[in-house]
């Protein structure tokens, strides 16, 4: 699983453009109407700025890795929303970026 995460992380780092606007997404509701903007992509983090806020938020690679472990189960509904939320205060952003990554490959 770790190797798969590293591949996914590297691909996100390569393809996620700065200034990209990502729609908030959840497995049970789909797109929820909110958005956030990517302000920086670094090897160890992604920085975002949510609509309605003026303070950027840095989301660490380690947080992505924690959520990624539950990503397949979350997508199909066998892991409740509380599972990723309990692992990171940035779960909404991470899940939305992971969803962006998968849908951008299609």
Give the model's pLDDT for residue 86: 84
Residues of the chain with confidence (pLDDT) below 70: 1-3, 106
Give the model's pLDDT for residue 1: 47
Domain residue ranges of the chain, discontinuous segments joined by +: 2-105
The token duo for 27 is: 């497995």
CA atoms 89, 40, 73, 76: torsion sign: positive
Q: Which residues have C-beta within 8 Å of that of residue 28, sequence separation ≥ 6?
A: 77, 81
Give the model's pLDDT for residue 83: 78
Burial of 84 (0-12, 13-18, 19+ CB in 10 A): buried
The CB density around residue 2, as the number of other CB atoms within 10 Å, is: 9
């Amino acid at each position: 699983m770790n190797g798969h995460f590293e591949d996914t992380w590297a691909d996100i780092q390569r393809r996620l453009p700065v200034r990209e606007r990502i729609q908030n997404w959840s497995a049970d509701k789909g797109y929820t109407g909110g958005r956030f903007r990517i302000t920086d992509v670094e090897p160890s983090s992604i920085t975002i700025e949510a609509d309605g806020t003026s303070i950027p938020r840095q989301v660490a690679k380690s947080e992505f890795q924690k959520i990624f472990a539950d990503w397949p189960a979350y997508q199909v509904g066998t892991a409740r929303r509380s599972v990723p939320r309990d692992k990171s205060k940035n779960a909404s952003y991470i899940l939305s970026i992971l969803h962006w990554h998968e849908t951008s490959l299609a």
